[in-house]
């Protein structure tokens, strides 16, 4: 049984609709999309809610001291992206 094929155009249209409607988006891995390139800048990303909590659960000793909560109690965690992850996303989209 083969897995269904999804076109890049369909993914991009879906993402555009999600952004327009203000939805939260979960990212998936696209096989063979990883590329190696040099990164000039440091990039930080803010993880919110359940995503931040799950990262802390995975590496409690490393991340516990960095998680914080907004006034309404929503957990927040800033992380620094590894070069490979950022470049793969940028180059894949280009």
Domain membership of residue 67 (yes or no) is yes
41-72 confidence digits (pLDDT tens):
777 788 888 888 888 888 889 889 989 999 89
- φ, ψ of residue 45 to 5 degrees: the values are -130, 140
The upper half-sphere exposure of residue 60, i.e. CA atoms within 13 Å in the direction of its Cβ, equals: 1
- Range of the structural domain that residue 74 is part of: 8-93
Confidence of residue 36 (pLDDT cuts 50, 70, 90): very low
Q: Which residue has the higher pLDDT, 40 or 64?
A: 64
Domain membership of residue 65 (yes or no) is yes
Domain membership of residue 51 (yes or no) is yes
Record the tokens describing residue 21, joined without a space.
């409607």
Domain membership of residue 2 (yes or no) is no
Domain membership of residue 3 (yes or no) is no
- How many separate domains does the chain show? 1
């Amino acid at each position: 049984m083969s897995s269904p094929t999804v076109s890049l155009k369909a993914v991009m249209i879906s993402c555009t609709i999600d952004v327009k409607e203000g939805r939260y988006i979960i990212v998936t891995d696209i096989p063979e999309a990883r590329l190696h390139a040099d990164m000039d800048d440091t990039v930080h990303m803010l993880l919110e809610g359940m995503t931040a909590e799950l990262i802390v659960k995975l590496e409690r000793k490393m991340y516990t001291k960095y998680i914080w909560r907004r006034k309404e109690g929503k957990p927040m965690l800033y992380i620094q992206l590894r070069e490979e992850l950022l470049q793969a996303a940028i180059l894949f989209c280009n």
